[in-house]
Each structure stands twice: as structure tokens, then as C-alpha cells.
């Protein structure tokens, strides 16, 4: 269910880019560059030199990036929020665009006299620069020597382009256009099996309220779903994790949506569909909810000896996803206590799934709440067992299988 073609979308999913902006007329293009980087899935934090702020305001870049803009090295408030060393570590890449001749000179000679040069000194991640300056400045010997020195040290050079310049000169020195810069930036990162894919995963149990203090639920811990979210992220996907109530920390670089009941999970899943290429239903969703859950605690009735709850069926989330048009590649789980493969085969057809993961939950060493699992993955013309292993390992194997089938289907549908 893609609203952008997979081949070009989200090549920067999960990537964190520190965008350095230095003083020059091309600084206005940094605003557009932030948008293009974000279109490809990147999280962007802008760092501006004082000269850059003469050309474009930090507020503009803050609004577009959705992150605070960093401007000074010696600001205690900014340092308390995210210190400069932390910021240097945060980035997967520092991209300086536009990079002025002065900045390139300071960078080449190891200066640390402002925030951006200090970040470049402290960074362990790759560095890239997109120079922008007058053609004579670009051609001048000292600038060329500085650029050569930076390239020798592994700094990537994007551009510059040749053409008409703001000052009226014609020649090389223009900053590359934002769209091209964003594509080149994505090209610095290796493609992975799920690069470009948006994956939504449900995890954990749901709770169906009886009254404000009691509920019906199950033993799902969320471990399998969270492990899958991490494995999909590590395979390059942009992951949304819709989780029932669990005691697990949110994995880094994953968007988590917390829900409580099956109806909440249904709503969140349907809302996520516009941004979903692959849907994986790991959650143990309650099939039924209490018809008339009470707003006040239900009192024990004297001498009655019993109480009756009427249950009504919850919507089947994964089946509804599979019915949606256009349909994401849809993967379900089948938690069974007997004859798991047989029941899973029935569920893949009944729910209209592309793949199902049969999970025997009668065993104590796997399934609910365990750190290990063992499953059989079933699809239309095949199946594959994944032997006993940690949930992290099972998740990696599952993601490999899902990515393969998803890419095959994606190719066929064209
Ligand atoms: O969370 P853990 O402790 O790590 O345990 C992992 C797990 C055992 C919960 C997991 O591996 C698993 O098997 N999940 C599926 C649990 C389940 O509810 O299975 P089911 O056979 O009842 O449902 C079949 C499929 O339909 C599942 O993908 C389920 O998410 C989905 N479903 C079910 C009911 C419903 N109303 N909506 C749904 O989407």
C-alpha cells in the first residue's frame, strides 16, 4: 500500500542527518534540502554558523526539521538539552550544505572555533560537504588544496555544479540542487533488504475492560513483536509499532503507538495503513470484549454465587487489513495449543493473509513471555520451519523471509 514508489522512497529511513549550514546565498536552499531529506525518511537536525543566520533564520529550519536548531557552542541551555559531543554522536552523517570557502578552510585545518567545526572534529560518522561559492573562489589554489585535503581524509564532496551564479559570474561553484543532494546522501548508505519499506507491527496483549479495575487479557509479553520491530528496522524499514500494555522499552528509531483494547488497536492499525507496505500482526488480540463494561467497580452480589458477563466479538484486525484496498503485504501469527500448522493453514485462507507464522503456545519454553521461540512460516506455495532460538534471532529470520516474499510480490505487481 504505497503512496510513493518503493524504489525511491525512504532511502534514508532511520537515518539521522546533522545538516550544517554555513554563510552563503545558497543557505536559503537548506530549507528545501531539509524537506527532501525528510521525504526520504531522515531525521534531520540543523546546525547553523553565525554567518548562515544572516541568510536564513533558525526558526525556518526548526519548523521544517521538527527539531531544535543548534547555533552556538557556548550556550548552557542548549548544551543541557543535547551537548555538542552528544549531537556529534547522534548523527549517522554530517552533511554541510552549503559549505563556504571559509568553512572548508577551517574544517581542513582542524579548527574548532564554532559549533559546526567542533562537531566535525568530534564526529565518528562520515562527513560530506556541498560547496557553494563564487567560481573564482572555488578555483583559487588555497581552496582547491583545502578540498583535496578533505577528500584525502575521506570527506565526500557533492558538487559543486557549474552555471550562472548569484553574483552574475558563470562557472563551477553553485551548490547542487536539494533533490540531487538528498539522493546522493541516500546513496551513501548501503541498501538493505527492507530499505524503502514501511512496516507496521502489532504486539503484546489487549485488555478488555470489565469495569475500571478489572479486565480480560492474556499472557503476551510483547517480546516477539518488539523483536520483529527491531529486526525490521535493522533491515532498513521505517517501523511503526502498535503495542498493547507491555513492560518493554521502546526500541530506538521506532515509532510506537500505545493502545489498550482490541478496538483501540483496530483504530490505530487502520489509521497506519496509508503508510504501510508490510503489516505484521504479532499481537494476541482478544477475540471478544465485554458487552457492557461498567464505569464503576462492580460490587460483589451477596449470595448470588456467580456472575455472568456477555461477550461480543471484536473486529479481526489482520483480516480487515488484508481486505483493505490496496492491500499491504499481510503477515499473521497463529498461536495454537495443538495441531498448529493445520490451524495456521486454515487461518491464512480465512483471513486472506500472504503469510502466517504458526506458533505452538502449549510449550513452556517458547511462545508467550519466553525469550525463545520456534515457529513454522507458511505461505501459498511453501513453508519453512525456524528452529528453537532467541526471539531476536527468530525475528531476523522471519524478516528475511518476509522481505523476500514481499519483494517478489512487489516486482510482480509492478
Ligand atoms: O508477546 P510474546 O509473549 O512474545 O508472545 C508471542 C506470541 C505467542 C503472542 C506471538 O508469537 C503469537 O503467536 N501471536 C499471535 C497471537 C494470537 O492472537 O493468535 P490467534 O491465532 O488468536 O490470531 C491469529 C492472527 O489474527 C494473529 O496474527 C492475531 O494478531 C490476529 N488477530 C486476532 C484476533 C483479532 N481480533 N484481530 C487480529 O488481528
Per-residue pLDDT of 137-150, as tens digits, reads: 999 999 999 999 99
Q: Is the pLDDT of residue 5 over 60?
A: no
- Ligand 1 centroid, distance to 225 Cα (angstroms): 10
Tell whether 211 and 133 lie within a shared domain. Answer: no
Output the pLDDT for position 166.
Answer: 78
Question: Given the C-alpha cell 518476509, which residue does it identify?
Answer: 402
Q: Phi-psi category of 168—alpha, beta or left, where left has phi over 0 and alpha has psi -120 to 50?
A: left
Give the whole-angstrom CA distance, residue 239 versus residue 32. Answer: 25
Q: Is residue 6's pLDDT more than 70?
A: no
Instruction: Assess contact for 237 and 328: CB atoms under 8 A.
Output: no
162 forms beta bridges with 172
Q: What's the CA-to-centroid distance between 285 and ligand 1, angstroms?
A: 6
Q: Do 27 and 98 form a contact (C-beta atoms < 8 A)?
A: yes
| pLDDT reading at 1 higher than 70 | no
Whether residues 276 and 366 fall in one domain: yes
Q: How far is CA 388 from CA 331, 345, 371, in A?
A: 20, 21, 11
Q: What's 166's DSSP letter?
A: T
193, part of any domain: no
Mean pLDDT of 346-364: 94
- Indicate the number of domains in the chain: 2
Q: Is the dihedral of CA 58, 60, 65, 66 positive or negative?
A: positive
Q: What is the pLDDT of residues 71-109, one digit of tens each?
A: 988 777 777 777 788 889 999 999 999 999 999 999 999
User: Cβ(226)–Cβ(258) under 8 Å?
Assistant: no
Place of cell 552563503: 24
The SS3 call for residue 47 is strand
Asked if residue 221 has its Cβ within 6 Å of ligand 1, the reply is: yes
Element (H or E) spanning 258, and its range? strand 255-258
What is the predicted pLDDT for the residue at 127?
A: 97
| pLDDT above 70: percentage of residues in the chain | 97
Ligand 1 binding pocket includes 377 (Cβ within 6 Å): no
State the pLDDT at residue 23: 95
Domain co-membership, 148 together with 219: no
> Cell 506458533 identifies what position?
359
What are the residues facing 281 on neighbouring strands?
202, 332
SS3 164: strand
192 in a domain, yes or no? no
- CATH code of residue 54: 3.40.50.1950
Of all atoms in ligand 1, which is nearest to the CA of residue 343?
Answer: 21
CB of 220 within 6 A of ligand 1: the answer is yes
Q: Which of 161, 187, 213 delimits the end of a domain?
A: 187
**Nearest of 165, 133, 154, 93 to residue 144 by alpha carbon:** 133
Q: Are residues 58 and 149 in the same domain?
A: yes
Share of the chain above pLDDT 90, in %: 81
Question: Is 4 contained in some domain?
Answer: no
> Both 127 and 204 in a single domain?
no
Query: Atom of ligand 1 at shortest distance to CA of 219?
Result: 3
Which helix (DSSP H) or strand (DSSP E) does residue 408 occupy? Answer: helix 391-412
Closest CA relative to residue 144, chosen from 204, 101, 98: 101
Report, as an integer, the average pLDDT of 274-278: 95
Of the candidate ranges 31-35, 117-121, 289-293, 304-308, the one whose mean pLDDT is the lowest: 304-308
Tell whether 249 and 385 lie within a shared domain: yes
Is residue 53 assigned to a domain?
yes
Query: What does the alpha-carbon distance between residue 289 and residue 293 come to, in Å, rounded to a whole number?
Result: 9
Q: Are 367 and 402 in contact (CB under 8 A)?
A: no
Band of pLDDT at residue 7, cut at 50, 70 and 90 = very low
pLDDT at residue number 409: 83
Give residue 130's pLDDT. 98
How many whole angstroms from 364 Cα to the centroid of ligand 1?
A: 17
Task: Answer yes or no: do 124 and 13 share one domain.
Answer: yes
Residue 262 Cβ < 6 Å to ligand 1 = yes
Q: How far is CA 223 from the centre of its chain?
A: 19
Any idea of the CA torsion for 276, 278, 279, 280, to the nearest 10 degrees? -150
Which of the two residues, 317 and 364, has the higher pLDDT score?
317
Whether the predicted pLDDT of 32 surpasses 60: yes
CA distance 128 to 157: 6
Q: Tell me which of 2 and 64 has the higher pLDDT.
A: 64
177 alpha carbon to ligand 1 midpoint, in Å?
Answer: 47
Residue 342, C-alpha cell as written in the block: 493445520
**Please, which residues bridge with residue 44 across strands?**
17
pLDDT level of residue 367 (50, 70, 90 thresholds): confident
Copy the grid coordinates of residue 106: 577551517
| Residue where one domain finishes, among candidates 159, 187, 215 | 187
Per-residue model confidence (pLDDT) at position 3: 42
Give the orientation angle of helix 101-108 with respect to helix 141-152, to 10 degrees.
50
pLDDT of the residue at 361: 87
Domain annotation covers residue 2: no
CA-204 nearest atom, ligand 1: 1
**Stretch (H or E) spanning 44:** strand 43-48
pLDDT (tens digit per residue) in 236-256: 999 999 999 999 999 999 999
pLDDT at 9: 67
Check whether residue 105 and residue 212 sit in a common domain.
Answer: no
Binding site membership of 99 for ligand 1 (Cβ less than 6 Å): no
Where helices occur in 195-315 by DSSP H, the ranges are 223-234, 262-272
Rounded to the nearest integer, the mean pLDDT of the chain is 92
State the closest ligand 1 atom to the C-alpha of 313, by its place in the atom list counted from 1.
36
When pLDDT is cut at 50, 70 and 90, the band that residue 268 belongs to is very high
The verdict on residue 360 lying in a domain is yes
Q: Which of 160-164, 186-190, 227-231, 293-297 has the highest mean pLDDT?
A: 227-231
The confidence score (pLDDT) of residue 351 equals 97
Q: Looking at residue 77, what is its pLDDT?
A: 73
Structural domain range at position 244? 198-413
Query: Three cell numbers at 388?
Result: 528453537
Q: Average the pLDDT over each of 5-9, 26-30, 271-275 and give the range with the smallest value.
A: 5-9
Residue 269 in contact with ligand 1 by CB distance below 6 A: no
Q: Are residues 183 and 236 in the same domain?
A: no
- Is there an atom of ligand 1 within 6 Å of 284 CB? yes
Residues 288 and 222 in one domain: yes
pLDDT at 8 over 80: no
Residue among 190, 145, 141 at smallest CA distance from 13: 190
Catalytic residue set: 167
Pairing of strands 238-243, 372-379: unpaired
| Domain harbouring 300, CATH code | 3.40.50.10300
- Residue that terminates a domain, selected from 164, 187, 210: 187
Distance 335 CA to ligand 1 centre (A): 6
Q: What is the pLDDT of residues 44-72, one digit of tens each?
A: 999 999 999 999 999 999 999 999 999 98
Residue 302's pLDDT is 65
Query: Do you know the residue count of the chain?
Result: 414
**Cα–Cα nearest to 223, from 255, 252, 187, 251:** 251
Say which residue the cell 572555533 belongs to. 113
- Please check whether residues 34 and 129 belong to one and the same domain: yes
Regarding whether 87 and 205 lie in a shared domain, the answer is no
Measured on CA atoms in the order 266, 272, 277, 282, is the torsion positive or negative? negative
- The reported pLDDT for the residue numbered 414 is 62
Amino acid at each position: 500500500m504505497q503512496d510513493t514508489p518503493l524504489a525511491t522512497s525512504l532511502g534514508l529511513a532511520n537515518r539521522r542527518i546533522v545538516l550544517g549550514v554555513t554563510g552563503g546565498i545558497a543557505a536559503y536552499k537548506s530549507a528545501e534540502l531539509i524537506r527532501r531529506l525528510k521525504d526520504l525518511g531522515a531525521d534531520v537536525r540543523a546546525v547553523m554558523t553565525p554567518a548562515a543566520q544572516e541568510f536564513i533564520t533558525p526558526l525556518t529550519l526548526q519548523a521544517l526539521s521538527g527539531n531544535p536548531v543548534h547555533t552556538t557552542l557556548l550556550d548552557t541551555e542548549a548544551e543541557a538539552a543535547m551537548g555538542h559531543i552528544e549531537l556529534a554522536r547522534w548523527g549517522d552523517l554530517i552533511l554541510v550544505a552549503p559549505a563556504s570557502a571559509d568553512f572548508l578552510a577551517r574544517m581542513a585545518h582542524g579548527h574548532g572555533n564554532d559549533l559546526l567545526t567542533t562537531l566535525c572534529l568530534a564526529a565518528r560518522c562520515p562527513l560530506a560537504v556541498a560547496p557553494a561559492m563564487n567560481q573564482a573562489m572555488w578555483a583559487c589554489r588555497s581552496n582547491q588544496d583545502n578540498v583535496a585535503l578533505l577528500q584525502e581524509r575521506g570527506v565526500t564532496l557533492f558538487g559543486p555544479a557549474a552555471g550562472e551564479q548569484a553574483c552574475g559570474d558563470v562557472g563551477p561553484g553553485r551548490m547542487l540542487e536539494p533533490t540531487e543532494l538528498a539522493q546522493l546522501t541516500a546513496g551513501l548508505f548501503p541498501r538493505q533488504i527492507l530499505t524503502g519499506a514501511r512496516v507496521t507491527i502489532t504486539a503484546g496483549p489487549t485488555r478488555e475492560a470489565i469495569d475500571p479495575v478489572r479486565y480480560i487479557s492474556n499472557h503476551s509479553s510483547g517480546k516477539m513483536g518488539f523483536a520483529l520491530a527491531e529486526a525490521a528496522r535493522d533491515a532498513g524499514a521505517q517501523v511503526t509499532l502498535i503495542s498493547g500494555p507491555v513492560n518493554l522499552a521502546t526500541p530506538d528509531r521506532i515509532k510506537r503507538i500505545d493502545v489498550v483494547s482490541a478496538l483501540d488497536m483496530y483504530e490505530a492499525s487502520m489509521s497506519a495503513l496509508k503508510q504501510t507496505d508490510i503489516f505484521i500482526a504479532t499481537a494476541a488480540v482478544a477475540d471478544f470484549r465485554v458487552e457492557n463494561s461498567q464505569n464503576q467497580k462492580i460490587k460483589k452480589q451477596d449470595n448470588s454465587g456467580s456472575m455472568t458477563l456477555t461477550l461480543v466479538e471484536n473486529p479481526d484486525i489482520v483480516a480487515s487489513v488484508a481486505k483493505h484496498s490496496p492491500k499491504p503485504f499481510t503477515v499473521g501469527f497463529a498461536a495454537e495449543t495443538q495441531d498448529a500448522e493445520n490451524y495456521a493453514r486454515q487461518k491464512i485462507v480465512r483471513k486472506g493473509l500472504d503469510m502466517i507464522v504458526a506458533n505452538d503456545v502449549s510449550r513452556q519454553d517458547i511462545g508467550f513471555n519466553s525469550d525463545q521461540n520456534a515457529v513454522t512460516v507458511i505461505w501459498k506455495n511453501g513453508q519453512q520451519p525456524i528452529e528453537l532460538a532467541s526471539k531476536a534471532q527468530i525475528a531476523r529470520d522471519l524478516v528475511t523471509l518476509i522481505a523476500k516474499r514481499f519483494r517478489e510480490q512487489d516486482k510482480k505487481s509492478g
